[in-house]
Amino acid sequence: MDCPGPLAEFLRAKRGDLSPARTQLAGYGDRRRVRGLRREEVAQLAGVSIGYYTRLEQGHSRHASDQVLLAIATALQLSVTETEHVLDLSKARVPLKGRAAPPLEIASAPALSMLAFITDRPAVLLGRRNDVLAWNPLGHALIAPHLRFSAPTIASERPSMARLLFLDPRSRALYPNWTKEAGDLVAYHRMISGKHPGDTALAALVGELVMKDPAFAALWAEGRVGECISGTKNFQHPVAGAFSARFDLWAQACHPEHRIEIYDPEDPDRVIPALRNVPASGLLGRDLAVSHYV
């Protein structure tokens, strides 16, 4: 069976998620055979022909104009991030077979300088694929206290937030609300995959996690996209105990997809001194509680 492509699959999923009751369509209370809107209803709301929209969902019309896609996004009540994702998918091209893997991401000198200035709060520099490119001592102690501080500088040891969250029980134990943390990360990875369809390293990462973790596979199949740039996270830390922290992501001007994530614990007078006690060599596995593995 031919794959209709990510754009068609995304439109199908969003159409199925939109209840007729949330639209101005008449007769939405009638008996329905499909979940969400029918194709002809989306076409009506977007002001396009039924045939054209059907071909778009079937993957037979992959060169829709931005104007048409924006009309469809409005009809499906997509968020700004979801609308941008639709536009990204419409411009995506299938990468050539045998394309070489992209080079290893390198932290820029300005980003490292900024990270060095942050000494009283945990901070982590993340790359496009949520690899840890660098961290300050408190960031290391918070996010991956069981790893060595030098891990981001060694290609074979560089931490991947996605692999840690889904494949490492010690990392999963850090997040009492693991389900939300996992959903937000997968939504980001789906969004970035639309922007970089030729990123073979990203595709390999997604493929690996789909094969190794059913939870990731289920979340990826949902098709949710999103970019979480600020908020609050809860932690169950092996040294600092239970606490919540406000976080903010700051994009780097020279590399917009490199982001510094800064955490501000709600009880810094207790949490920060505790994090300073984590050795740069990393905690031993037996020192880490894993009771919160879900």
Residue found under tokens 């992209």:
102
pLDDT at 241: 96
CA dihedral 240, 163, 183, 172 (to 10 degrees): -30
Per-residue pLDDT 10s for the chain (294 aa) are 456 788 888 888 888 888 888 887 755 556 666 678 888 888 888 888 888 888 888 887 667 888 888 888 888 888 888 888 888 888 876 554 555 566 788 999 999 999 999 999 999 999 999 999 999 999 999 999 999 999 999 989 999 999 999 999 999 999 999 999 999 999 999 999 888 888 889 989 999 999 999 999 999 988 889 888 899 999 999 999 999 999 999 988 778 889 999 999 999 999 999 999 998 887 754 444 333 322
Please state at what angle helix 50-57 crosses helix 6-17, rounded to 10 degrees.
Answer: 120
Compute the residue count for the chain. 294
For residues 242 and 187, give the distance between their C-alpha atoms in angstroms, rounded to a whole number: 26
CA 203 – CA 197 distance, rounded (Å): 8
pLDDT value at position 55?
86
Tokens, residue 173: 């134990």
Let me know: does 45 contact 69? Beta carbons within 8 Å. no
Q: What is the pLDDT of residue 117?
A: 94
Residue that has been written with the tokens 């949902």 in this structure = 222
Please name each of the domains of the chain with its CATH number. Answer: 6-91 (1.10.260.40), 109-287 (3.30.450.180)
CB 131 within 8 A of CB 199: no
Q: What is the dihedral of CA 273, 113, 156, 105, to 10 degrees?
A: 140
CA distances from 113 to 108, 221, 230, 252 (A): 9, 39, 22, 12
Residue 159, pLDDT score? 96
- In the three-class reduction of DSSP (H, G, I as helix; E, B as strand; rest coil), residue 244 is classed as strand
Closest by alpha carbon to 262, among 227, 238, 230?
230
C-alpha–C-alpha distance, residues 88 and 108, integer Å: 26
pLDDT of residue 288: 44
Give the separation between CA 254 and CA 114, rounded to whole angstroms. 13
